[in-house]
Amino acid sequence: MEQIAFNSEKYLELQSENILKRIASFDNRLYLEFGGKLFDDYHASRVLPGFLPDIKVQMLSKIQDKVEIVIVINANDIEGSKVRGDLGITYDQEVLRLIDAFRSVDLYVGSVVITQFMAQPTAVQFRERLESMDVKVYVHYSIEGYPSNVDVILSDDGFGRNEYIETTRELIVVTAPGPGSGKMATCMSQMYHDHKRGVRSGYAKYETFPIWNIPLKHPVNLAYEAATAELDDVNMIDPFHLEAYGEAVVSYNRDVEVFPVLRRMFENINGVSPYKSPTDMGVNMAGYAIENDDAAQDAANKEILRRYYQSLVNERLGTGSKEAIQKIEMLMNQANLKPSNRKVVGASEAKSIETDEPAVAIELPDGRLITGKTSTLLRASSAALLNAAKALGGIDDRLPLISPSVIEPVQKLKTDILGNNNPRIHAGEMLVMLAVSATTNPVAELAMQQLKKLQGCEVHSTVILRKDDENVFNRLKMNYTCSPKFRTQKLYHKK
């Protein structure tokens, strides 16, 4: 059983207190740049067992009367139909999803800001669409020489051209559908305009990773580098903090590179910079809520291995790079990890060699390794899930949970009527059939009850999973990886 590493209740208290303290240090107006995911932060929950995926939203809900959300999106990302890889939706769709998500928990969304705006046709259409739904929209423009040319940035030709975002709350949370949206520039632009209006507003940054007050090469921080390998982010000791305080703390290259410019902006806007280092700008308290470091290290090492296999698949699909693979291999060396440390990989490969077909392995909470093979009736994912449910429920492996008389008509429907070339039952179809069988078969009902126990279990497939099987593992909150190969030698493969 995975051990709890993180105290979410303690984190909630520490984090909300720290943010309120930062608000009070300015004229009760703080622009808080939120990095990473506000909802569904499963990376954090994997590397810090006990970290609740929606804990940031819970924290904001504790002080919701002070909170206003501003969502930032880059016009070029709208024009280029940029897609969030984890959700498979475009950035403009993600803005709509975020608005709905915030409203569903009674957090106030004040406006949307379109940055790098140059009247791109799709950006104009998106603005009109939002306004038709009574969402306030502001536009910010490109600034020549940003972020280095501070004299131009802090002028009527720079931030002065941007539309001023009218806000009503003390804490303005600036978030975005993804990186490169312009969150920091939006915060700085607002501070510039506030200063011209005689308001001393402030800026702070809230990112969970890297965690500043744990070692640079701690597996949790290495896992962050693995997660951002394609972005080429690098954790490093904050040199400004070391110089100012004589204390070695962890930051990352982008914040360190931009800090001199930010400090000069602070000085030009308010006369003095409130911060001596990139670390000073942060408000993250996650490091103080880690209560079982061994458990955190173990979980983070598992995440590094998962990221390694994902990078192999990304490169095979043409969405990744060899450089990202090499970066994660370097991190694995630093953490003394080998691909063979991921037990489900060896188990699935052994089953595949035995059957000469794709196979899937699942590691149960008690450490048992359960496999599933590809058959004429089922995909390997479906078989592995059924076998895992049997093992967890103490069900005789010889007992059928779903009768072939139920499976075969579905296969006929798929091939003869719906025109599907592959008759094998995928994981989602299998679970529906198991649910139907459970209405008349007590053993199938027992197996159904075991599925919730699969949350957090490790899974590996010897071939790249189809999207429908991926979705099932995601919904069951299982941690899956794949070997970087397809089932067939065809050039086109439907995910």
**Using one digit for the tens of pLDDT, what is the confidence trace for 22-33?**
999 988 899 999
The packing angle between helices 442-450 and 427-438, to 10°, is 130
- The number of residues in the chain equals 495
Res 493: pLDDT: 54
Q: Residues 441, 389: contact at Cβ < 8 Å?
A: no
Specify the pTM.
0.91
Cα–Cα distance between 348 and 358 in angstroms, integer? 8
Backbone angles phi, psi at 395, to 5 degrees: -90, 135
What is the rounded distance in angstroms from the CA atom of residue 74 to the CA atom of residue 82? 10
**3-state secondary structure (DSSP) of residue 372:** strand
What pLDDT, in 10s, does the model give residues 386-433?
999 999 999 998 888 988 888 888 888 888 888 887 888 899 999 999
The answer on pLDDT for 86 being more than 80 is no
Tell me the per-residue pLDDT of 132-177, one tens digit each, with 9 for 90 and over.
Answer: 999 999 999 999 888 888 889 999 999 999 999 999 999 999 999 9
Domains of the chain: 8-289 (3.10.630.10), 342-482 (3.40.140.40)
pLDDT of the residue at 27: 83
Position 307 scores a pLDDT of 97
Q: What's residue 495's pLDDT?
A: 55
CA distance 41 to 56: 9
For strands 458-461 and 359-363, give the pairing: antiparallel
